[in-house]
Amino acid sequence: MPETLPVPVAPAALQDNDRVTAGRALADALDAAKAFALAEKSDATRLAYRRDFDHFAGWCCGVERSPLPAEPATVAAYLADLARSGLKASTIRRRLAAIRHAHKLSGIEPPTGAEPVRAVHRGIRRQLGTRVEQKAPATAAAIAAMLKRIDATTLTGKRDRALLLLGFAGALRRSELVGLNVEDLVPAREGLLIQIRRSKTDQEGAGHEVPIPHGTKLKPVEAVRQWLAAAGITTGPVFVRVRRGDRPTAERLTPQSVALIVKARAKAARLDPDQFAGHSLRAGFVTSALESGADVFAAADQGRWKKLETVREYDRRAKAFKNHAGKGFL
């Protein structure tokens, strides 16, 4: 006997109280949906998009145009104005992404996909160029020079020493470094295993485990243990602010703090601070690894680079003068 499909039954009319309850349930579900939609991007990305869109909205107010929804001509004119003001192509690209994101989040077709906007953006990229300014890598030699100028008898000195060495040895991003908790440091016979809960390329929190060897020269694990012991940190953030008088706080350092510390320590080592940034630690590890003959795949694995071409670019720079075509006659 063939099975028959159930006949759909219309829902019974709701009473007033039931309507109120159902309305609240729907409102709660919509709030939850909004929260999940916002969680699509990291906090840093959402903050950057908010600032960029606020700038666009302010510009629209000045020329009496609507920012949301925005017309393609408005966006094209905005991009042209940004380019004339001297902004970098990378900043303009980010502003465009913020406009697109705001429209999509509001359920509106983004004007950024219109051909007039795309044509203006292509022209800007062609005229301004798309080259990203590279900061100097904090190589093993640069790190050693910085360490020599750090007073390791102070709490601040111990913290900065540990921060430089752990960021370098783990090829860590600024956000990964300051996001570490003591619970993320797992002791191992060969050193430490660092648990990266979430990162720029792992927004869904699959997690990564990064090995940090004891080492025989820079000794990153020893520096981290000395800092934690001196600061009395047994749980929570690994890297915190230190007040005057060498008093540790419970306040976690920010990604910007890493950049400032790297620059300050570079300056103290008589290196050009303008050439260094927070990313210099990550770039310094892969550069030093490749210069010392490490396998490209091993370097990529330590830094969790998904695109091998990124590591190969570091490899090309690290070995630019090795086997040079003019080596035999220049």
Task: Say if residue 211 is preceded by a cis peptide, omega within 30 of 0.
Answer: no
Pairing verdict, β 208-213 and 191-196? antiparallel
Residues 187 and 287 in one domain: yes
If asked whether residues 312 and 203 sit together in one domain, one would say yes
The CATH number assigned to the domain holding 34 equals 1.10.150.130
> What's the mean pLDDT in 286-303?
87
**CA distance linking residue 15 with residue 100, whole number of Å:** 43
Please tell me the pTM assigned to this model.
0.67
Do 145 and 101 fall into the same domain? no
- The pLDDT tens digits for 137-172 are 999 999 999 999 999 999 999 999 999 999 999 999
Q: How confident is the model at residue 202 (pLDDT cuts 50, 70, 90)?
A: very low
The answer to whether position 16 is within a domain reads no
Q: Share the mean pLDDT of the chain.
A: 86
Asked whether the predicted pLDDT for residue 314 surpasses 70, the reply is yes
Together in a domain, 57 and 149 = no
**Side chain identity at 276, as an amino acid letter?**
F
Residues 199-210 have a mean pLDDT of 62
- Under 8 Å CB-to-CB from 219, ≥6 apart: which residues? 165
Q: How many domains does the chain have?
A: 2
Residue 147 and residue 265 share a domain: yes
Residues 200 and 160 in one domain: yes
Residue ranges of E strands in the chain: 185-188, 191-196, 208-213, 240-243, 247-252
Which tops the pLDDT comparison, 318 or 162? 162
Residue 266 lies in a domain: yes
Are 124 and 151 in a shared domain? Answer: no
Residue 307 to residue 234: CA distance in whole angstroms: 36
126: Cα within 13 Å, side-chain hemisphere: 6
C-alpha distances (whole Å) from 73 to each of 58, 88, 233, 314 are 16, 21, 56, 40
The answer on pLDDT for 12 being more than 70 is no
The pLDDT of residue 206 = 58
Euclidean distance between CA atoms 172 and 278, whole angstroms: 9
Domain carrying residue 35: 22-128
d(CA 302, CA 288): 13
Residue 80 neighbours by CB distance under 10 Å: 15
The answer as to whether 44 is a domain residue is yes
pLDDT tens-place string over residues 68-117: 999 999 999 999 999 999 888 889 999 999 999 999 988 899 999 999 99
326 in any annotated domain: no
Domain boundary among 66, 97, 128: 128
State whether 208 and 180 are in the same domain.
yes
Query: Does position 133 have pLDDT exceeding 70, yes or no?
Result: no
Regarding whether 242 and 167 lie in a shared domain, the answer is: yes
| Model confidence at 214: pLDDT above 60 | yes
Last residue of a domain, one of 70, 101, 128: 128
Q: Determine the number of helices (DSSP H) and then strands (DSSP E) in the chain.
A: 13, 5
